[in-house]
Amino acid sequence: MVFVMNAPQDVFRMLIQMWPEALRVVDNNGWTPLYWVCKKRQALEKIDMMIEWFPEALSTRTRIGDTPLHAAVNSPLPQVIELVARQCPAAIVMRNMNGNTPLVMAVEYGVSRETIQLFIDLNPAVVRVKNLDERTVLHSVCLKVATLETIRFLAGQWPLASLLLDTFNNSPYDLAVHTELDSSVLGDLIEALRDAAHAATANSVLP
C-alpha cells in the first residue's frame, strides 16, 4: 500500500482505477490511505482524487481518534488543509483521544490566521470545544505564544472563553503569562482579554 501511495500521480490514478477497494483498507493503527497521504504531506491532487473516490474516509478515525483533518493541519500547503476542511466541516469539532480538535492541533503547528478563520467559518462551534484539560482553543493560542492579532481574534469569537479556567485553574491569560511574553506584548494581551471578559459579562454569555 505504501508503494501505491508514493507512486507518481499518473501511476497512482491507474492503480486506484484498477483497485478502488484499496482506498478502504485500514492498517493496524487505523490509518486509511487518505489519512496516510494527509499525514505524509502528499500532493493536493492525490488527496482530492482519494476524497472523490472514497469520501467516507474523511470521517474515519484512527485508533487514537484522529481524522484526516487532524493529519492535514500539519501540511505546508494551506490548500490541502482547506480542501479537507471544506469537504468535511463536521471533522473540525471532532476530538481525538487527547480531546484535541484539528483546530487546536493547527494552532500548535502555527497555521495562519486565515486558516483559523476558515475553520471557524465552516464550523463556528469549534471555539467552544474543550480538550481533556478543559481548555478551549483560546487557551491553546495563549499557551503557544500565538500572535496578539490571533489571540484578540479568537477572544472576540467567544468572549466567555477568556474567563474560563482549565483543570489546573488557569485562564487563557495565566497560560500566556507562563510563556514569558515581552512585557509590552503582555500588556496588549491583558487589554485584549479584558475587553473580551467585559463583552462576556455585559452580554451575560453562559457556557
Q: Quick: pLDDT tens for 82-137.
A: 999 999 999 999 999 999 999 999 998 888 889 999 999 999 999 999 999 999 99
Other beta carbons within 10 Å of 181: 16
Q: Cell triple for residue 33?
A: 490511505
- Specify whether the CB–CB gap between 34 and 27 falls below 8 A: no
Helix axes 78-87, 113-122, angle to 10 degrees: 10
Q: Cell triple for residue 80?
A: 490541502
pLDDT at site 190? 72
pLDDT at site 206? 46
Cell 476524497 belongs to 51
pLDDT at site 147? 75
Question: What span, in angstroms and rounded, lies between the C-alpha atoms of 25 and 101?
Answer: 24
Return the closest-CA partner of residue 152 out of 113, 120, 98.
113
Mean pLDDT for 52-76 is 94
pLDDT at site 25? 85
User: Residues in the chain, how many?
Assistant: 207
Better-scored residue on pLDDT, 26 or 41: 26
pLDDT at site 3? 53
pLDDT at site 101? 97
pLDDT at site 19? 77
